[in-house]
Structure 1
Amino acid sequence: MSYRIHDDCIACGACQPECPVDAISAGDIYVIDPEKCIDCGACANVCPVDAPKPE
């Protein structure tokens, strides 16, 4: 299972440096590559709007 960033994302960038496998990329909102995600939840722990959620 991996995490996915939902539309509530405010593109603050808090999640990206927390990802230990560099699975998060920037765009209009941040996106998690499900092939790289190791389901650690580090992104969800720092997100101020709870945008990353387990799939």
Structure 2
Amino acid sequence: MAIKITEECINCGACEPECPNNAIYEGGVEWAIADGTSVKGDFTLIDGTVVDAAQRNAPIAVDTYYIVPTKCTECQGFHEEPQCAAVCPVDCCVPDEMYRETVEELLAKKERMH
């Protein structure tokens, strides 16, 4: 499953540079599938919506850092554990129960993005 950042986030920014998928954004910042990935053209989001990979999307959170679930692979294929959770000083990077995925699904997502 994807990782989410809880409202306990202190906005330290330690997580953002650790994400190999560029799935973490500062609160209030627009995001795109193409950011930090090799994706071009149409891309299907988790909810089935098809978007242009370069399309800028509304921020998921305004006041704290956030993780785009469509881009999060829990660092599968890159690291042994999610790096955001490993570096978070307040342990606010936790599994997102809304987005359950198998290791195989997470690895396939990684392959689609890189």
Q: Which runs of 4+ in 1 moved over 3 A?
A: none
Deviation at 1:31, TM superposition (A): 0.4
Q: TM-score with structure 2 length normalisation?
A: 0.47
Structure 1 length-normalised TM: 0.95
Deviations 1:9-52 (A, max 9, x none): 00000000000000000012100000000012110000000011
Instruction: Point out where structure 2 has 5 or more consecutive residues left out of the alignment.
Output: 28-62, 76-81, 97-114
Higher relative contact order (CA 8 A, sep 6+): 1
Which residue number corresponds to residue 92 of structure 2?
51
Q: Secondary structure at the match of 2:4?
A: strand
Aligned residues: 55
Percent identity between the two aligned chains:
55
More strand by share: 1
Aligned to 1:31: 66
Asked which structure has the greater CA Rg, the reply is 2
Q: Secondary structure at the residue paired with 2:22? A: coil
Unaligned runs of 5+ in 1: none
